[in-house]
């Protein structure tokens, strides 16, 4: 039996390691440009940096035809990923997750085209694998030996896995009530785990306070430029899985919002390469009622989302009281004619059972939150039963057993 080999050389991408399509990095707020192939966190303005490519040149080899022979992983989009040398790619086979036609669930809602993008089948059971494989690969390429992250759960597990595979030291800071599965996962993969009383923002403050003295590189959400490059591949995959089209509506559970921002970036890149036209899905953020900073800001017409006080929800990935990419998300929601919806913890847990019983997918609470959000949008008339709708399940329900047990016992 031949062992699986996830190295890029098996992908048949026909891309030399000397090819370089990144032109520069760009501040998401000011537009100021930065040289590629250097280690960055935020821009001088304290805002996320975005990677930019020579898409005209990349599009000559990254074509719909060429994709037919490429590896079924996110590395099939090699030309629009920032790693220069293949030897620095740290991979566990992430990406190319199934797009499930949820026919039984759709029938209950009167919808013919309801789909679930099931990210729970990524390594470590969550969509976070996409972003962290890119962050760690670039950290390796740029000489980083120690990485640190504040996390409410799944990002920590993904970072621990990829850091272990890269031979890096991993330092993880989690709220003390983070699900046990996430804590154990990190410890068993060799990470140094510190639990703090508080929220992910408190953990982030601790990383910021200590990183320089300890020699850590901070891979927090949107505080380095490359996690978004992994997350954007969800957008590329949707276009492929819908045969060159995009859905009418995307419902995305949003904490830090990297996936939402990344997919929007992917759509722009694909248009420039001639894959798609200018039409975009209506993008909807889904948040927990107990932690809904983006929903509140959207409803009030704000361009930024102030910290949500006393944040509380069983969906640990949604318990992000302040997102550094808030202004980018709000702009996307408005430009796409989408919106933002909050749902209760009870609605999430009830929906998880409904999705599981109908489609055989055990969603994380974050993912199941999309179903009650969809029902609210149908009731309000913002989404019709004729729309092609994609719900994102961002993680595996088995990593949240305390949340399900807590709600069932109430």
Q: pLDDT per position in the chain (410 positions), as tens?
A: 233 344 444 344 444 454 689 999 999 999 999 999 899 999 999 999 999 999 999 999 999 999 999 999 999 999 999 999 999 999 999 999 999 999 999 999 999 999 999 999 999 999 999 999 999 999 999 999 999 999 988 999 999 999 999 999 999 999 999 989 999 999 999 999 999 999 999 999 999 999 999 999 999 999 999 999 999 999 999 999 999 999 999 999 999 999 999 999 999 999 999 999 999 999 999 999 999 999 999 999 999 999 999 999 999 999 999 999 999 999 999 999 999 999 999 999 999 999 999 999 999 999 999 999 999 999 999 999 999 999 999 999 999 998 887 655 55
| pLDDT attached to residue 10 | 39
- 3-state DSSP assignment of residue 221: coil
Q: Which CATH class is domain 99-121+232-408?
A: alpha beta
pLDDT at 5: 41
Check residue 408 and give its pLDDT: 53
Same fold, 99-121+232-408 and 128-218: yes
pLDDT at residue number 403: 85
Q: Shortest CA distance to 154 belongs to which of 176, 185, 177, 110?
A: 185
How many degrees, rounded to 5, is the angle at CA 32 between CA 28 and CA 35? 105
pLDDT score for 12:
43
Which listed CATH number (3.40.50.1100, 3.40.50.720, 3.40.50.300, 3.30.420.40) goes with 128-218?
Answer: 3.40.50.1100
Write down the pLDDT at residue 407: 52
pLDDT reported for residue 269: 98
What is the helix (H) or strand (E) element at residue 337, kind and residue range? none
Those residues with Cβ within 8 angstroms of residue 62's Cβ, 6 or more apart along the chain or in another chain: 77, 78, 79, 80, 273
What single string gives the DSSP state of each residue in 99-161? EEE-HHHHHHHT-S-EEEEEGGGSGGGBTHHHHHHHHHHHHHHTT--EEEEE-SSHHHHHHHH
Burial class (CB in 10 A: 0-12, 13-18, 19+), 381: exposed
Can you give the pLDDT at residue 20?
82
**Hey, where are the domains in the chain?**
8-88, 99-121+232-408, 128-218
The pLDDT assigned to 3 comes to 37
Task: Answer for the pair 89, 162: CB distance below 8 angstroms, yes or no.
Answer: no
* 206, two tokens: 């601790």
């Amino acid at each position: 039996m031949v062992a699986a080999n996830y190295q890029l050389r098996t992908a048949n991408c026909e891309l030399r390691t000397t090819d370089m399509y990144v032109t520069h990095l760009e501040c998401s707020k000011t537009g100021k440009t930065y040289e590629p192939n250097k280690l960055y966190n935020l821009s001088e303005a304290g805002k996320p940096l975005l990677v930019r490519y020579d898409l005209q040149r990349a599009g000559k080899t990254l074509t719909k035809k060429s994709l037919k022979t490429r590896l079924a992983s996110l590395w099939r989009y090699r030309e629009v990923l920032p790693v220069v040398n293949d030897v620095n790619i740290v991979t566990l086979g992430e990406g190319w997750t199934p797009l499930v036609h949820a026919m039984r669930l759709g029938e209950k809602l009167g919808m013919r085209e309801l789909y679930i993008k099931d990210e729970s089948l990524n390594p470590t059971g969550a969509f976070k694998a996409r972003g962290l494989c890119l962050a760690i690969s670039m950290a390796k390429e740029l000489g980083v030996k120690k990485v640190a992250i504040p996390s409410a759960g799944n990002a920590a597990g993904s970072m621990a896995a990829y850091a272990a595979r890269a031979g890096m030291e991993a330092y993880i800071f989690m709220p003390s009530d983070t699900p046990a599965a996430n804590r154990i996962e990190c410890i068993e993969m060799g990470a140094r785990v510190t639990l703090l009383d508080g929220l992910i923002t408190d953990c982030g403050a601790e990383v910021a306070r200590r990183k320089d003295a300890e020699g850590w590189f901070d891979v927090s959400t949107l505080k380095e430029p490359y996690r978004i490059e992994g997350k954007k591949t969800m957008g590329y995959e949707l276009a492929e899985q819908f045969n060159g089209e995009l859905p009418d509506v995307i419902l995305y559970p949003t904490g830090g919002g990297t996936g939402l921002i990344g997919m929007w970036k992917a759509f722009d890149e694909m248009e420039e390469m001639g894959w798609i036209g200018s039409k975009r899905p209506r993008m909807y953020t889904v948040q927990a009622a107990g932690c809904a900073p983006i929903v509140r800001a959207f409803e009030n017409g704000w361009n930024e989302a102030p910290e949500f006080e006393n944040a509380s929800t069983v969906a640990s990935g949604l318990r992000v009281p302040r997102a550094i990419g808030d202004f980018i998300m709000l702009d996307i929601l408005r430009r796409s004619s989408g919106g933002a919806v909050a749902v209760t913890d009870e609605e999430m847990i009830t929906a998880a059972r409904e999705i599981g019983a109908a489609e055989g997918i055990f969603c994380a609470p974050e993912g199941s939150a999309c179903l009650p959000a969809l029902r609210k949008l149908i009731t309000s008339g913002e989404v019709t039963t004729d729309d092609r709708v994609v719900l994102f399940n961002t993680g595996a329900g088995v990593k949240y057993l305390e949340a399900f047990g807590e709600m069932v016992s109430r």
